């Protein structure tokens, strides 16, 4: 007897659809969600994990421009009385209100900054499987992370990061180089050398900024500088791929930095926003300047006089955005 004919099976949804993503995850719940920028950057259907609540999504219109004061750090450190007076006034006003300012005449070579950006292009342009050789392990601040998919399951940021530790310590003179050699191999020796040099420049710059902050707070230039000598800090490379629905997601959600001081260099794309006077404002890229903001730890060290302010990063549908971020923290035994 011939068995009855069965209707043909329903074809699976195309691989790019959220339904397929969710189905694959349901078939194997132990397999974590993976943020593969090389494919997701072209998708018009954003997986639900990356869609933010309506009250947190970026608005349809760009926010107003935030005029962050540029501070001549070199003039202050050189003892120029006019530059010093102006720098102390500007940084005091900015930090009491919102904690964001720009540093110019900072002494960091443009060649080093450009090379750090080029190395970032190289790393994030590699296939996902190659980047995952540096995958961040649970409980470790170091390593590659694709949208923090292993830590959270909703309101995921539309970004990739590579983080590593830096020590201003003669006992660990090449900690960045050694990390990349041990993690990625000999081919990354030059990569590690560039970021070792960049971190050393950021550490030196941060100590100069601490002289300015100490002077502006009335405790003298050496007070905070000495406290942060021998710092144990974190360097992070941020890569925000294009998103075909930038109105639905965020590159980084609203947050305050828990560390002491953040020194950021943006590329020319833009996307940093700060929350001041009850609304979001954009901080435009300034190639020759670093964006500096006060973190929660320094807010506590200043007895709440200087503010740690809410900020976020938005994405766009056209161009990837990159930023270099140095999170200054004191030596662990000082906390």
**Annotated catalytic sites, by residue?**
321
Return the closest-CA partner of residue 91 out of 102, 78, 81. 102
Selection from 241, 137, 131 nearest residue 191 by Cα: 131
Rounded to whole angstroms, the Cα distance separating 311 from 303 reads 21
Radius of gyration of the chain (CA): 22
């Amino acid at each position: 007897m011939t068995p009855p004919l069965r209707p043909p099976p329903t074809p699976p949804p195309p691989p790019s659809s959220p339904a397929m993503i969710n189905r694959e995850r349901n078939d194997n719940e132990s397999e974590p969600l993976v943020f593969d920028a090389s494919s997701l950057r072209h998708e018009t259907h954003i997986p639900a994990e990356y869609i933010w609540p309506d009250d947190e999504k970026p608005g349809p219109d760009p926010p107003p421009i935030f005029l962050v004061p540029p501070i001549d750090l070199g003039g202050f450190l050189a003892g120029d009385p006019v530059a010093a007076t102006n720098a102390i006034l500007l940084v005091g006003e900015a930090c009491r209100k919102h904690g964001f300012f720009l540093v110019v005449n900072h002494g960091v070579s443009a060649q080093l900054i450009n090379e750090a950006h080029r190395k970032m292009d190289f790393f994030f342009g590699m296939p996902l499987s190659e980047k995952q050789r540096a995958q961040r392990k649970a409980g470790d601040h170091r390593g590659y992370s694709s949208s923090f998919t292993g830590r959270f399951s909703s309101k995921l940021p539309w970004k990739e990061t590579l983080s590593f530790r830096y020590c201003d310590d003669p006992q660990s003179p090449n900690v960045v180089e050694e990390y990349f050699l041990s993690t990625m191999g000999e081919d990354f020796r030059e990569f590690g050398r560039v970021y070792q040099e960049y971190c050393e420049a950021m550490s030196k710059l941060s100590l100069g900024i601490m002289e300015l902050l100490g002077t502006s707070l009335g405790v003298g230039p050496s007070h905070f500088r000495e406290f942060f000598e021998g710092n144990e800090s974190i360097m992070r490379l941020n890569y925000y791929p294009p998103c075909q629905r930038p109105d639905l997601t965020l590159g980084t959600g609203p947050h305050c930095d828990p560390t002491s001081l953040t020194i950021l260099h943006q590329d020319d794309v833009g996307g940093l926003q700060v929350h001041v006077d009850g609304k979001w404002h954009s901080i435009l890229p300034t190639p020759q300047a670093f964006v500096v903001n006060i973190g929660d730890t320094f807010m506590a060290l200043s007895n709440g006089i200087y503010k740690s302010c809410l900020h976020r990063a938005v994405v766009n549908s056209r161009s990837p955005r990159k930023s270099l971020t140095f999170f200054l923290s004191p030596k662990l035994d000082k906390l």
